[in-house]
Amino acid sequence: MRVYGVELPSRLLLGTALYPSPAIMTEAIRASGAAVVTVSLRRESGAGEQGAGAGQRFWDLVRDLGLRVLPNTAGCHSVKEAVLTAQMAREVFGTPWIKLEVTGDDDTLQPDVFALVEAARILTADGFQVFPYTTEDLVVAGRLLDAGCEVLMPWGAPIGSGRGLNNPYALRSMRAHFPNVPLVVDAGIGLPSHAAAAMELGYDAVLLNTAVAKAGDPVAMAGAMRRAVEAGRMAYEADPMEARDMAAPSTPVFGTAAFA
């Protein structure tokens, strides 16, 4: 997978929130084989529940993994807030990459696509390389590309829901409509089968967090997700058979024995 001129050795991107402990987070990230981890500026910079300095210790852990960091603007509800958070994240993490999130609905955490496009345009002009968390709407996708984004990250389902791919038709349409744009299914993945299904549609990568972090065994689930993403990509590249409405015999019937 190549995005913003960078070739990534893994098609699984993993979040760093909600794990039972930093040690389990570290083991899960390693088991996933992910080359990119997402981080929240609020998580890194705040004192957190572990007391003063917890943010710095967390950042030290992530940095020691030697992976690319993708800061996000999670929790932002306006263009101004998202842009400011992105600018602060660039200073803290030293990267032009930003996962742009602008929440429009607090129940579903659905992106505010109007604010998203405006914020993407401002950040791109400021030198950011934007990874927009968006819906599967084709018109919005086109506007984001016009704003300077070189990758699109449509949701599979609401964040943390574990529902999988709510609208495979729309996701398939987006893949067909933008054949040369890196596409990442972001949010809603709950099972390895969901990740494999996204990759079988031809998506370039999957970004997930809760499915691994909240599993009974996050490390084992991270390994399962890694294999599912790899299997889904291999299946897509193998040019799978088309689905049929009727049965088709796999064993030839010509020449079979006839009984009087």
Catalytic residue among 11, 90, 99, 121: 99
- Any binding-site annotation on 188? yes
Structure tokens at 13: 């991107």
Q: What is the dihedral of CA 69, 151, 125, 90, to 10 degrees?
A: -10
Phi, psi of 255 (to 5 degrees): 90, 5
Burial class from Cβ neighbours inside 10 Å (0-12, 13-18, 19+) for residue 41 reads buried
Q: Which of 45, 28, 17, 32 is nearest to 205 (CA)?
A: 32
- Any binding-site annotation on 53? no
- Any binding-site annotation on 210? yes
Q: Which of 68, 73, 83 is nearest to 5 (CA)?
A: 68
- Any binding-site annotation on 75? no
Q: Regarding beta strands 129-134 and 97-100, do their DSSP bridges make them parallel or antiparallel, or are they unpaired?
A: parallel
- Any binding-site annotation on 33? no
Q: What is the dihedral of CA 40, 44, 46, 50, to 10 degrees?
A: 120
Alpha-carbon separation of residue 78 from 74, 82, 93, 135, 239 (angstroms): 11, 6, 22, 17, 42
Is there a catalytic annotation at residue 99?
yes
Orientation of helix 168-177 relative to helix 138-146, angle to 10°: 40
Binding residues for 1-deoxy-D-xylulose 5-phosphate, by number, are 160, 187-188, 209-210
Active-site residue list: 99
Binding residues, by number, are 160, 187-188, 209-210
